[in-house]
Structure 1
């Protein structure tokens, strides 16, 4: 059996249970993998500030991929690479959100902003990702159609009712690839686990792509295998089956 050197974990819907905690089973497996010299990294749509409490809880000092790949960190304290969305593109996305009357949020290098942020000066920030949320499928489809026509952004989701926009060519896959180049590990020796559209690229490119039992159907369709759900310690299950000696 192929022994994998690195596992890239989505957080929400994958590592984290529905209550946004890491199960003791998952913690134990991650610590055991780390003790055996395996590399465990987060690859998440969250920003670094949001991801860091979990990184510290696990005691990880490994690289991480955040904001769907717009930032890659060589360690929790050292930024390796950052790719920005042009300000004019954020202005256009913001205008589209207003036109469609839907919830929006966006990550800048200073934090997260949303429809309720007061006094926001878009031009004063450096932007990493923009997101839309609406339960109206027609609106969501219209937004995807408009943004797709621009041809300048990666369009994914982290939930069936949202859309997430990153710079063209930037994804969790590009982020994990950058980490692998840094560490000298081929993608063939990587396991990637996730549940949503923003995980598809890294699941496709990893040596072993794993869809969660709670994943969206398209993720399950392209993955090498489907495991149990995020509430059933799936990360521990995969680490023990494919990484530990």
Structure 2
């Protein structure tokens, strides 16, 4: 049982826990329930905003903390905000201008809402902003945008898909969120299993005791992980829980 004295499992959602059609498989559901019965806390650490997480929290009956928008918000329990890290509205305006210049798809999470290319907000200063994202299938253009943003020196730049970019304030990432959760319970990061598939999972995969890359993960993520499991379509989350917690 529980080979590494693990106390917490931090799960990315898209490409990790969820199948391609955004469902939780029966195998993953059963494994999560078994882990919780064994006294392990199971939490989400996702790039999604809380409004796109709540249905899954209810479905799995999770009561653990939640890390949303790549660490931009940390919830001590469902419905209880612990911390929030905001992007300056001036930066949102500059990122928006860059999206227009390169004609990319873009989106942004504000507190309580999500905006995108088809539905933007005129009063940028009137919102509290958490994350900005770009999606562009032209890799060269995406790289040009990334280089420009990187040169500003104020962002944590990751992705949740090879064709996108996600921006949070510098120092805000999934690992910073998971660290806050560990502090709540007196856990060490070595007692956490973190699982993911994209660049926005790298921080927690590197910092946690067991960093797991999905079989479908980006190659860069696989190279940095301690373990590679099966894909999100093959219940990779359940495999790790069975192997490291339940066996």
- Scaled to the shorter chain, the TM-score interval is over 0.9
The secondary structure found in structure 1 opposite 2:99 is helix
Distance 2:47 2:122 in 1: 22
User: What is the deviation of 1:244?
Assistant: 2.2
**Which residue number corresponds to residue 243 of structure 2?**
241
1:148-181 C-alpha deviation (Å, 9 max, x unpaired): 0000000000000000000000000000000000
**Which residue number corresponds to residue 58 of structure 2?**
56
Q: RMSD across aligned C-alpha pairs, in angstroms?
A: 0.9
Show the 5 A alignment for 1:73-92: 73-92=75-94
Kindly indicate whether the alpha-carbon contact (under 8 Å) linking 1:3 and 1:242 is maintained by their aligned counterparts in 2. Answer: no
Kindly indicate whether the alpha-carbon contact (under 8 Å) linking 1:105 and 1:131 is maintained by their aligned counterparts in 2. Answer: yes
Distance 2:114 2:122 in 1: 11
CA change 1:150–1:207 in 2 (3 A) is same
**Which residue number corresponds to residue 179 of structure 1?**
181
**Which residue number corresponds to residue 127 of structure 1?**
129
For 2:154, which of 130, 152, 155 is the aligned residue?
152
1:9-47 C-alpha deviation (Å, 9 max, x unpaired): 000000000110000110011011111110100000000
Distance 1:170 1:158 in 2: 15
For 1:203, which of 200, 205, 208 is the aligned residue?
205
Distance 1:210 1:189 in 2: 14
Kindly indicate whether the alpha-carbon contact (under 8 Å) linking 1:106 and 1:114 is maintained by their aligned counterparts in 2. Answer: yes
**Which residue number corresponds to residue 8 of structure 1?**
10
TM-score (norm 1): 0.98
Where structure 1 has 5 or more consecutive residues not aligned to the other structure, the ranges are: none
TM-score (norm 2): 0.97
Where structure 2 has 5 or more consecutive residues not aligned to the other structure, the ranges are: none
User: What is the deviation of 1:123?
Assistant: 1.5
Distance 1:110 1:64 in 2: 16
1:27-84 C-alpha deviation (Å, 9 max, x unpaired): 0110111111101000000000101100110000110000000000000010000000
Distance 1:241 1:156 in 2: 29
User: What is the deviation of 1:118?
Assistant: 5.1
Distance 2:112 2:210 in 1: 35
User: What is the deviation of 1:120?
Assistant: 3.5
User: What is the deviation of 1:3?
Assistant: 3.0
